[in-house]
Structure 1
């Protein structure tokens, strides 16, 4: 199934009553990964407003949470954004990552995401790739379990997910993560449609 076909089917998949109950098969948490080729990110970004509009027109409150903007907001709120940008420019990305690690712990980011998700019946996490390497996908999902266990969460993921392993951009292997279902997987590649 091509990405265009999957994007056209996405609003219907998000409106599936099983997904909206927030629980997967066997009563697992309702976390889903919509993975796609990283070079198709502009197509996903362009389609997202149409998808959200269709889901909201069906009466479901959608929380679209941009992880990159969440990180920037957290830094700005604490007065560190300009310092972080200067640090990256003078000392590089590795120094920036080390300096921001305590401020952007997965627990703190998950708390910020949960705060933004209040009132939502469905949460879409976007801009995962833009937030890398400051955020790791599996860490955010692991920390969201206790905060959003009754709300279905769909991570729009520029890379691959095979039901066990996340590979951001198809390159960077994240730790194993097996609690999410692939949403609209391509034939012969997924567990759950």
Structure 2
């Protein structure tokens, strides 16, 4: 569970803390993780979402100014590219009102399926960036709900991308239990009981 101090952090304080952790050699070197994948959650109160884009860009700029290569990926933008790439996206949108909600959701969901499409695209974006990124920063996952869920992205990315620290900016809470594992609570309302092999970035300290 995130500490009381972390829970009371402002959005700017959360991103300032993220910078201190992410710029540390021990973080970039993936030290102290045991056999776990180097995946981290940067949670924030859902009410702060309108200001997250600015804080995210400030974080990326600070890391790059410090000489750290960052691959920043907006998941909503990436999904939108996949939808437009079908060549029939406008027709799908036009037909939305006449289709059952489940049918439309399945159609758009298939195009951005994490296992088949979205996660491979993330891995490709990282592989194609030069110089090779030292850290990956994912954002805007909340906009994809319920078509795509955060835990599915993380799970399907593991076999594709596990040799670089990855940070997921998450609108909600990251809850950890020694008996039940960890779970992401989207918008602080929607709890998913899946196990997450990830660390709470706000719970890490720079040595």
Q: Which has the larger radius of gyration?
A: 2
Q: 1:31 aligns with which of 11, 34, 39?
A: 39
Q: Per-residue deviation at 1:33? A: 0.3
Q: What is the rounded CA distance, in whole Å, between the counterparts of 1:24 and 1:85 in structure 2?
A: 47
Q: Per-residue deviation at 1:180? A: 0.3
Q: Per-residue deviation at 1:35? A: 0.6
1:155 aligns with 2:173: no
Residue of structure 2 in register with 1:109 after alignment: 118
Residue of structure 2 in register with 1:54 after alignment: 62
Q: Per-residue deviation at 1:115? A: 1.2
Residue of structure 2 in register with 1:74 after alignment: 82
Change (3 A) 1:8 1:88: same
- Deviation by residue 1:96-155 (Cα, 9 ceiling, x = unmatched): 211223322211110011111223221111001111111110000001111111011100
Change (3 A) 1:171 1:93: farther
Q: Secondary structure at the match of 1:43?
A: helix
Q: What is the rounded CA distance, in whole Å, between the counterparts of 2:44 and 2:108 in structure 1?
A: 28
Change (3 A) 1:38 1:84: farther
Q: What is the rounded CA distance, in whole Å, between the counterparts of 2:19 and 2:81 in structure 1?
A: 28
Could you state the TM-score of these two structures normalised by the residue count of structure 2?
0.83
Q: What is the rounded CA distance, in whole Å, between the counterparts of 2:92 and 2:189 in structure 1?
A: 26
Superposed CA RMSD:
1.8
- Deviation by residue 1:37-94 (Cα, 9 ceiling, x = unmatched): 1110122211111111111111111111111111110111121321332233433653
Uncovered stretches (5+) of structure 2, i.e. residues with no partner: 177-181
Provide runs of 4+ in structure 1 moved above 6 Å.
Answer: none
1:172 aligns with 2:185: no
Aligned residues: 187
Uncovered stretches (5+) of structure 1, i.e. residues with no partner: 186-191
